[in-house]
């Protein structure tokens, strides 16, 4: 088992990439604190995994980072892996975007990641295999109409993570970020299901001619969390099936 005796925090863990990653980490020997919003049936989702402990909390709350880290230490006594996966998306042209949409996107996608990393550092320094895995997007490097807030937040995640890698490397802590492409998650499934034609267009844009699945990202996260990724840091791991090759 690649994560035997390690403790991980995974946010946005009720569905999609977070759910798949929390469960794969547990199957590989980790004890996991799974975090998501109240009302997401978090405990029900993970009821068959005895090494996953659930915490219902919005990562966007000002006290979330401290609560999440404290909960992990209280339950498990250590912390080795932080996976910041929770995120939101909104579509609005810059000229029409409300301050509320901008602020919420930046708060959940970027500020919450900063806070959790910041709170976790002291504990990660005690680990022999400290890992930070932040979820960005291929839109950290690209853009599209209406995605100003989303793209800015994900580019911020990339910059934050590279800086963490530089600052924490001397403590043996790695910091990397995932760049998902078109993935069938809780955030996107409604669109794909309602518009199969749109799903087909995105699938055909990929070199592999399919939409990604949460497990595709979870396997990337597992690589970065395990000893296999121990000499990889400051890196954006693109998991997009070749979506961006022609962009």
- Looking at the annotation, which residues are catalytic? 150
H/E element holding 45? helix 42-45
- Distance of alpha carbon 40 from its chain centroid, rounded? 17
Helix H, strand E, coil C: the string for 220-238 is HHHHHHCHHHCCCCCCEEE
Scan for tokens 């403790």, then name that residue: 7
**Measured CA distances, 147 to 60, 134, 238 (Å):** 20, 19, 19
**Measured CA distances, 132 to 135, 149, 169, 196, 203 (Å):** 10, 23, 11, 35, 30
**Residue (of 137, 128, 125) closest to 161 by Cα position:** 137
Q: Retrieve residue 24's tokens.
A: 């794969």
Rounded to whole angstroms, how far apart are CA atoms 13 and 217?
13
Q: Collapsing DSSP states into helix, strand and coil, what is residue 19?
A: helix
- Distance of alpha carbon 103 from its chain centroid, rounded? 19
Q: Retrieve residue 184's tokens.
A: 């069938």
């Amino acid at each position: 088992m690649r994560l035997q005796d390690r403790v991980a925090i995974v946010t946005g863990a009720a569905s999609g990439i977070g759910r798949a990653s929390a469960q794969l980490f547990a199957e590989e020997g980790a004890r996991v604190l799974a975090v998501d919003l109240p009302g997401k049936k978090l405990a029900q989702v993970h009821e068959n995994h005895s090494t996953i402990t659930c915490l219902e909390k919005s990562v966007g709350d000002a006290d979330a980072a401290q609560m999440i880290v404290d909960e992990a230490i209280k339950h498990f006594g250590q912390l080795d892996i932080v996976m910041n996966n929770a995120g939101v998306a909104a579509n609005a042209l810059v000229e029409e975007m409300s301050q509320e949409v901008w602020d919420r996107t930046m708060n959940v996608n970027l500020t919450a990641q900063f806070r959790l990393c910041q709170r976790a550092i002291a504990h990660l320094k005690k680990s022999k295999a400290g890992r930070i895995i932040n979820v960005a997007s291929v839109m950290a490097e690209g853009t599209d109409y209406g995605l100003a807030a989303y793209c800015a937040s994900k580019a911020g995640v990339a910059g934050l993570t590279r800086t963490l890698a530089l600052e924490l490397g001397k403590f043996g802590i790695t910091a990397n970020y995932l760049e998902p492409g078109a993935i069938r998650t809780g955030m996107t499934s409604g669109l794909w299901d309602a518009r199969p034609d749109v799903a087909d267009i995105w699938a055909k844009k990929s070199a592999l001619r399919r939409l990604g699945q949460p497990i595709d990202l979870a396997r990337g996260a597992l690589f970065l969390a395990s000893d296999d990724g121990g000499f990889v840091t400051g890196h954006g791991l693109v998991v997009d099936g070749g979506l961006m090759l022609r962009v």
